[in-house]
Amino acid sequence: MSFKRVSSTAGVMAMTGALLLTSAPTASADYIRDRQWVIDVIDFKKVWAESQGEGVTVAVVDTGVDGSHPDLTGQVLKGMDVTGSGDAQDDTNGHGTGMASLIAGHGHGTNSSAGVVGLAPKAKILPIKASSTGDDYRGDQWAEGVRYAVDEGADVINLSFADPSAVPDSKGAEAIDYALQHDVVVVSGTGNDGITGVEYPAKLPGMVAVGAIDESLKVWKKSNFGPGVTLAAPGVNIARADTTESSGYAEGSGVSDATAYVSATAALVRAKYPDLTAGQVINRLIKSATFLDEDVKKVPDEQYGYGIIRPYAALTKDIPKGPKQGPLAQSSPSTSTNSGAASDDNDSTSQVAKKKKSSSGSILLIAGIAGAVVVLGILFAVIRSRRNGGSSGSGSGSGTPSHGTGYPPQPPTGYQQYPNTAPNQGYPTPPGQSPQQPNPYTQQPPHQGQ
């Protein structure tokens, strides 16, 4: 059964002055690098002082990844083509190469100052080609790709597509469960229709479901929302690598791009904290996220989830590990959604159960039924105090996936030479905002996903 990619509405888009930056960033001589507004908002250099994703493998299940692109040389492993056409690095669509560049692109030229740079430039990319056109995915094939990625040691799996057939009893769902059981962080987008309903596979239990924000750091109008949204990340007017274009680059908007940035953030955390489980990595992403000045009444929010990613905070904030299964674990005889995002201890639900059993037994021996009632009341208070305020990351609702529109060529500049940019051109400060004001994205936010 075929399905559609949760891709990007791609094209050449004019950059605006909507960014809430401290001031215009220093201009470079590279046209493509100057269009990467996310670099300044997230402050890549500050993040890289903590982690660059070294030693981590991110599987990109997509249209393949062209490892010959100058911004990806040396980053792309052999991978697997589950479509049967042959080569996982033969990307005739460009989408997979684009996602890989946002995750692990290293740029090129002098001091790597040209081209696209990813958020985790030292992570490795394991390409899984599951589509040739971006629309001809098959559930059994991408499921095979996910299992291959797990068996090859992938730490993070990026799924920038939607699959209406990936219901809980499908092969795709079984493959996702296989990945989660083997301690892999799996990330997918919510959908590009601007409607209520998170798409599959992002909707499946344990998945990190990602929505997109624009340059004003507001939820993108086409980003699907509703129960099940986990995080939000930049996904509008995103410059990325694309060897199907004459310039080698394209620009687009969609939850696909946001998904790639969340996958990259997970790679950064896994590199710095190799002892954390996949669930505990997700816990750091959630606990460090921000709502900025949004007046969020309930967490997770149906648009932002637990908030917008803050990679630097995810790497540096003092966040207890939390339960091994993480905040997105589903209720079962051995786990509970109560040990989710807001849990600040390392005790598991089973440990709480042991305490309950021990205390109950002691009271029954000492004081009979009356004493048992008292202690059970105390236990109830203890357990209640350990509960988190969030709910599971999965949710209900579905949406209709949309096709990408292709990636029109960038200006015919080639890989190496780009038009010079006037000094301090960058992204102007919005009218009425003082250049001295701090970047709200990097501030301690008034609301956090905790």
Catalytic residues: 62, 95, 256
Q: What does the H/E/C string look like for the chain?
A: CEECCCCCEECCCCCCCCCCCCCCCCCCCCHHHHCCHHHHHHCHHHHHCCCCCCCCEEEEEECCCCCCCCCCCCCECCCEECCCCCCCCCCCCCHHHHHHHHHHCEEECHHHCEEEECCCCCCEEEEEECCCCCCCEEHHHHHHHHHHHHHCCCCEEEECCCCCCCCCCCHHHHHHHHHHHCCCEEEEECCCCCCECCCCCCCCCCCEEEEEECCCCCECCCCCECCCCCEEEECCCEEEECCCCCCCEEEEECHHHHHHHHHHHHHHHHHHCCCCCHHHHHHHHHHCCECCCCCCCCCCECCCECCECCHHHHHHCCCCCCCCCCCCCCCCCCCCCCCCCCCCCCCCHHHHHHHHHHHHHHHHHHHHHHHHHHHHHHHHHHHHHCCCCCCCCCCCCCCCCCCCCCCCCCCCCCCCCCCCCCCCCCCCCCCCCCCCCCCCCCCCCCCECC
Burial bucket for residue 299 (CB in 10 Å: 0-12, 13-18, 19+): buried
Which residue shows structure tokens 């929505």?
211
Give whole-number Cα distances, 220 to 111, 156, 192, 197, in Å: 34, 25, 9, 15
